[in-house]
Structure 1
Amino acid sequence: MSKTSVIGIIAAVIAIICTFFPWATIESRHLVFTGLNTTGSSFGEPGKLNIFLAVLAAVIFLVKNKWVMRMNLFVGGFLLAWSFRNMLLFSRCEAGVCPQTGIALYIALAAAVVVFVCVLLTRTPVKK
């Protein structure tokens, strides 16, 4: 297994772990939002898709098939886009109430960037 695959798997695990920590806090209403617990808002549960995509990317890093590794390009890109969307969603102000964003939100985004870069730098096996 290459170094980029190992780093990509570690980054995917970090992205999964970050979904359980606070992403945003609204102190005026005493609300704390994580990726899986957004009670009191209309955000849904975006952490479930983060977890699914990160697990799928980590599993694909383990497979050394050319077409499966190309699928990881889509999975890693979608994980990056979804994490960026979550960062925009949880850090925006609504009706004059601005949330205090947690560091886990930014770490999840950074981990998604690392997963995507590792997907780009992983070499595909050469047929002989």
Structure 2
Amino acid sequence: MKYSQQIGAVLALLIIVNCFFPWSYIPSLDITITGMNTTGTHFGKPGILHIAFSCLAFILFLIPRIWSKRTNIFICAINLAWGLKNFMLYSMCPAGDCQEKRFGIYLLLLFCFIMIVMALLPKIAIKEKSQ
């Protein structure tokens, strides 16, 4: 794809912004959880790792070298795996107390999935060796 690197860089920035959107609502505690604000739970701050991987992916999307494209596939795959883990964590029902998923957790999965697709489709010119 011609614009896969630019789209991937924009998606990395969107993931960073998405870490501040509501991911889940716990009705029994009356709290809304984001990737950076999990007050009242023991979830930690999963958005920090998304921000770190997205910043690294953003930089790698902009470097026009083959090693950066290969490394970016690995970074985006880890980011997607971390997003799947967070989706399962934020949609579980511990002891029958189900959380309500909000739009942020769905956007996170969507952005992570599209970002790894963009990492798999780099447009880079490879020079052939002349004999």
AA at the equivalent of 1:30 = D
Cα drift, residue 125 of structure 1 = 3.2
The match for 2:114 is 114
**Aligned sequence identity (%):** 36
The code of the aligned residue for 1:120 comes to: L
Matched residue type, 1:14 = L
Question: 2:58 & 2:24 partners in 1: Cα distance?
Answer: 26
Which residue number in structure 2 is paired with residue 68 of structure 1? Answer: 68
- Residue in structure 2 matched with residue 7 of structure 1 by the alignment: 7
Unmatched segments (≥5 aa) in structure 1: none
TM-score under structure 2 length normalisation: 0.92
| Partner of residue 79, structure 2 | 79
Map 1:9-48; keep pairs closer than 5 Å.
Answer: 9-48=9-48
Paired residues, what number?
A: 127
Equivalent position of 1:105 in the other structure = 105
Q: Is residue 91 from structure 1 mapped to residue 65 from structure 2 by the alignment?
A: no
**Per the alignment, in what secondary structure is the counterpart of residue 95 of structure 1?**
helix
C-alpha displacement of 1:42: 1.2
Return 5+ residue gaps in structure 2 as ranges.
Answer: none
Please give the alpha-carbon distance, in whole angstroms, between the structure 2 residues aligned to 1:79 and 1:11. 12
TM-score norm. by structure 1 comes to: 0.94
CA distance in 2, matches of 1:76, 1:104: 18
The one-letter code sitting in structure 2 at the alignment partner of 1:103 is F
Aligned position for 1:125: 125
CA-to-aligned-CA distance 1:24-68 (integer Å, 9 cap, x gap): 101221111100111111111100000111111111000011112
Q: Distance in 1 between matches of 2:124 and 2:95?
A: 49
Alpha-carbon distance in 2 for matches of 1:125, 1:70: 14
Deviation at 1:123, TM superposition (A): 2.9
- 8 Å CA contact 1:26–1:98 kept in 2: the answer is yes
CA contact (8 A) 1:21 1:35 kept: yes
